[in-house]
Structures are given as structure tokens and as C-alpha cells.
Amino acid sequence: MDISEIRITLRDDNKLKGFASITLENAFVIRGLKVIEGASGLFIAMPSRKRKDGTFQDIAHPINMATREWMENQVIAAYRREMQRVESGEVPPPTARGHYDDDDDDHGSAMAGRY
């Protein structure tokens, strides 16, 4: 499996540092991964939905630790590269918006606009 593209949307928040979308094998997109600053550093939270009982359930996630670590390392590296672009003045600094706002991004999908 190959991550063919990672897109990062930065946020300026105490814990939520950004959102990520990943494209697998130029064929499948997963949106809504969160880059979170935790007590022991950055980590990735998978896309999730809130259940009726108030708990959250992952919508998509790796099924083993090796894949989770591999994916997390790649997304965090992309986040750090994006932060370097901000520090160099190449892109504007992040906003404090707390929701995922990527509606105009179709990741080159052949299905974009069909549904």
C-alpha cells in the first residue's frame, strides 16, 4: 500500500493542529484525519462519528499497529513540512477554525461532481 498524496489543512488551536486527507494508491481518499498535540507529542486521530451514547467510533482506521505507525509517521511528516512552509512565509499561518472545511477539494477524483 502506498500513500500517493497527503493534504494538510492547518489549525491554530491548543490541541487540534490540523486536518489531513490521504490518498491511497491514487485510488482511495480518506478525509478527516486529525493531527493532535497530546501529552507526549503529535499523534493522528482517525475520522470518527459520534454515537447516540456520546462515544466516538472510528469510520476508517488501520487494523494493526505497524500500519498505524507507518501512516501516522507519514502524516506527521507532511504536517511538519507544511509548518515549515508557514515559518518560511510561503503560506499564510493557520486559522483557529475547529471543523474540517475541504469542500472544494476533490483530490482529482473521477467521481467528483457525479453525486
Q: Give residue-wise pLDDT tens across range 10-35.
A: 998 999 999 999 999 999 999 999 99
Contacts of 95 (CB under 8 A, 6+ apart): 10, 11, 12
> Among 29, 5, 8, 15, which Cα is nearest to 79's?
8
Mean predicted lDDT score pLDDT of the chain: 86
Give the confidence band of 96 by pLDDT, cuts at 50, 70, 90.
low
Give the per-residue pLDDT at 93: 87
Residue 83: CA count within 13 A, CB half-sphere: 12
> Among 9, 11, 13, 12, which Cα is nearest to 22's?
9
Is pLDDT larger for residue 99 or for residue 79? 79
Question: Cα torsion at 63, 66, 69, 70 (round to 10°)?
Answer: -100
- Supply the pTM of this predicted model: 0.79
Question: Cα torsion at 79, 81, 87, 92 (round to 10°)?
Answer: -60
Give the confidence band of 113 by pLDDT, cuts at 50, 70, 90.
very low
Q: Is the pLDDT of residue 50 over 50?
A: yes
Q: Are the CB atoms for 98 and 14 separated by under 8 Å?
A: no
In angstroms, the CA 9 to CA 107 distance is: 14
Full set of structural domains in the chain with CATH = 3-48+60-87 (3.30.1120.40)
